[in-house]
């Protein structure tokens, strides 16, 4: 039995008494159908409404396309019985967010189509955002300037606070007589949404979703980003309450960054670019200094290693990283005619270099884990990483004793 949809008559109806018609288990979940419903089922790219049937939470709402029955998935169906009257309460905040976003999608899509011949090829609504896949009819690219103009034009429709009207048509022929911007692909019981005067609307499109009574209730439409997607342009958009929350968040972030850089928000991008250029110079200078330090330490190592007596030559570096030491050891590989340990004190890591016998990697594998270390490497170069300096020292002492 087809469920009567009260939201089609009054989209602002937040609660109502319903009569339970059927209860079933479906794919491991309990579902309840009623003679009528205030809950919009998932469809047309819009998520379903949520709320409560009596004291029981609704977790999903879907329509059986063949019968027109709307099934409410509930957390617990044990308290329901056929013929029972239940009081349904809608999660109004979720519903109104969806109304604002869906209407915002219509308005923006209509402005793109009217201004630039750009079609909406796909639409998805998340919890607080939407994505629209756009493409120009003539295949031309969608530019940032076009997006800015369409966004402004869409908000001008919001500010005009024009009526949003839904009309129902029995056949596709009747619906197609309206100025719809998209082809109608289904044959009967078609709802068409008009933004503005139905005789000359800002947008006209077949849609089963929920929308506010006036465009002004959308509040704000904001295009957050645009990216290439399968030959189209995918736009991420927010409208209504989510758009306001996003705007407030971005404003706070921009204000904090402007305060950090001691500039106005309007000059933040220029200041950030100047700061990046300065940082690039600092990074370049640091790289040059590190290279010079590594070269100097490499020369010291070449001088000190031949004169070192003992089974393991140990060199300690308080400032150089393990990566720096490994790079230095790799470049100076020919000088390691005897085993050496290059110890990065800051990283608590031992870089072990040998002429190949004994194998550096095998030494790390055999002994590092005895002191909570880990690592590995090749026959000539390996590293052992520790969490404590004392453990690294014990590891080097053990290797020295092993090689005697």
Stated as kind and residue range, the H or E segment containing 286 is helix 268-307
Report pLDDT for 129: 94
pTM summary value: 0.74
Report pLDDT for 138: 92
Q: How many domains does the structure of the chain reveal?
A: 3
Tell me the C-alpha distance between 31 and 22, whole Å.
8
Identify whether residues 369 and 349 lie together within a single domain. Answer: yes
Average pLDDT, the chain: 92
Report pLDDT for 176: 83
Identify whether residues 321 and 385 lie together within a single domain. Answer: yes
Report pLDDT for 218: 98
Q: Average pLDDT for residues 73-86, to the nearest whole number?
A: 95
Identify whether residues 110 and 249 lie together within a single domain. Answer: yes
Report pLDDT for 361: 92
Identify whether residues 11 and 81 lie together within a single domain. Answer: yes
What residues does 317 pair with on adjacent strands? 344
pLDDT digits (tens, 9 = 90+) for 146-199: 999 999 999 999 999 999 999 988 888 888 888 888 887 776 678 899 999 998
Q: Quick check: is 270 in a domain?
A: no
**Total residue length of the chain:** 404
Tell me the C-alpha distance between 34 and 54, whole Å.
13
The last residue of one of the domains, among 202, 226, 260, is: 260
User: What are 398's two structure tokens?
Assistant: 């053990």
User: What are 12's two structure tokens?
Assistant: 């602002």
Report pLDDT for 23: 96
Sequence-ordered list of residues with C-beta below 8 angstroms from that of 133, at least 6 positions apart, any chain = 120, 121, 122, 123, 229, 230, 232, 233, 234, 235
pLDDT digits (tens, 9 = 90+) for 118-144: 999 999 998 899 999 999 999 999 999
Report pLDDT for 214: 98
For residue 55, the domain's CATH number is 2.40.30.130
Tell me the C-alpha distance between 325 and 345, whole Å.
11
pLDDT digits (tens, 9 = 90+) for 274-319: 888 989 999 999 889 888 888 888 888 888 888 788 889 999 999 8
Q: Average pLDDT for residues 4-8, to the nearest whole number?
A: 95
Identify whether residues 112 and 245 lie together within a single domain. Answer: yes
Taking 90 as the threshold, does the pLDDT of residue 7 lie above it? Answer: yes
Q: Quick check: is 275 in a domain?
A: no
Number of C-beta neighbours around residue 79 at 10 A: 12
Q: Which domain holds residue 300?
A: 286-402
Identify whether residues 181 and 104 lie together within a single domain. Answer: yes
Identify whether residues 383 and 294 lie together within a single domain. Answer: yes
Give me the residue label for tokens 């407030």.
248
Report pLDDT for 316: 93
For residue 222, the domain's CATH number is 3.30.980.10
Report percent pLDDT > 90 for the chain.
74
Report pLDDT for 275: 87
The last residue of one of the domains, among 60, 90, 120, is: 90
Identify whether residues 193 and 226 lie together within a single domain. Answer: yes
Report percent pLDDT > 70 for the chain.
100
The mean-pLDDT minimum among 191-195, 236-240, 271-275 falls in: 271-275
Taking 80 as the threshold, does the pLDDT of residue 215 lie above it? Answer: yes
Q: Quick check: is 277 in a domain?
A: no
The mean-pLDDT minimum among 22-26, 49-53, 116-120, 329-333 falls in: 329-333
Identify whether residues 119 and 236 lie together within a single domain. Answer: yes
Taking 90 as the threshold, does the pLDDT of residue 101 lie above it? Answer: yes
CB 215 within 8 A of CB 157: yes
pLDDT digits (tens, 9 = 90+) for 324-378: 999 888 888 888 888 999 999 999 999 999 999 999 999 999 999 999 999 999 9
Report pLDDT for 131: 96
Identify whether residues 125 and 214 lie together within a single domain. Answer: yes
For residue 360, the domain's CATH number is 3.10.310.40
Report pLDDT for 102: 95
Taking 70 as the threshold, does the pLDDT of residue 253 lie above it? Answer: yes
Helices (H), 228-267: 241-260
Identify whether residues 378 and 393 lie together within a single domain. Answer: yes
Identify whether residues 100 and 249 lie together within a single domain. Answer: yes
The last residue of one of the domains, among 205, 225, 260, is: 260
């Amino acid at each position: 039995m087809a469920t009567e949809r009260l939201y089609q008559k009054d989209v602002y109806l937040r609660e109502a008494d319903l009569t339970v018609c059927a209860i079933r288990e479906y794919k491991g979940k309990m579902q309840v159908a009623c003679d009528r419903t205030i809950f919009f089922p998932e469809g047309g790219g819009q998520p379903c409404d949520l709320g409560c049937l009596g004291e029981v939470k609704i977790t999903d709402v879907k329509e059986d396309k063949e019968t027109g029955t709307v099934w409410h998935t509930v957390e617990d169906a044990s308290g329901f019985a056929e013929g029972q009257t239940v009081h349904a309460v809608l999660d109004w905040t979720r519903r109104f967010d969806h109304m604002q976003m869906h209407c915002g999608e219509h308005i923006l899509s209509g402005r793109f189509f009217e201004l630039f011949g750009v079609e909406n090829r796909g639409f998805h609504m998340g919890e607080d955002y939407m994505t629209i896949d756009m493409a120009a009819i003539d295949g031309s690219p969608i530019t940032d300037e076009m997006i800015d103009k369409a966004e402004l034009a869409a908000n001008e429709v919001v500010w005009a606070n024009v009526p949003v009207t839904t009309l129902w048509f029995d056949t596709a022929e009747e619906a197609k007589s309206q100025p719809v911007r998209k082809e109608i692909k289904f044959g009967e019981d078609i709802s068409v949404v008009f933004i503005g005067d139905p005789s000359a609307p800002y947008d006209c499109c077949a849609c089963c979703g929920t929308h506010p009574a006036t465009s002004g209730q959308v509040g704000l439409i904001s295009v957050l980003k645009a990216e290439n997607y399968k030959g189209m342009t995918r736009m991420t958009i927010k409208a209504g309450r989510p758009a306001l929350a996003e705007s407030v968040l971005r404003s706070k972030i921009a204000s904090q960054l402007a305060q950090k850089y001691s500039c106005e928000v309007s000059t933040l991008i220029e200041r950030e670019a100047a700061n990046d250029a300065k940082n690039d110079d600092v990074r370049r200078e640091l790289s040059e200094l590190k290279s010079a330090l590594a070269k100097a330490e490499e020369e010291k190592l070449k001088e000190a290693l031949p004169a070192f007596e003992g089974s393991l030559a140990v060199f300690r570096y308080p400032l150089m990283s393990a990566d720096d030491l490994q790079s230095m050891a790799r470049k100076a590989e020919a000088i390691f005619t005897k085993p050496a340990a290059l110890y990065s004190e800051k990283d608590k890591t031992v870089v072990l270099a040998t002429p190949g016998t004994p194998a550096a990697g095998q030494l790390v594998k055999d002994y590092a884990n005895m002191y909570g270390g880990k690592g590995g490497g090749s026959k000539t170069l390996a590293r052992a990483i520790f969490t404590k300096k004392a453990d690294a020292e014990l590891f080097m002492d053990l290797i020295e004793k092993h090689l005697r």
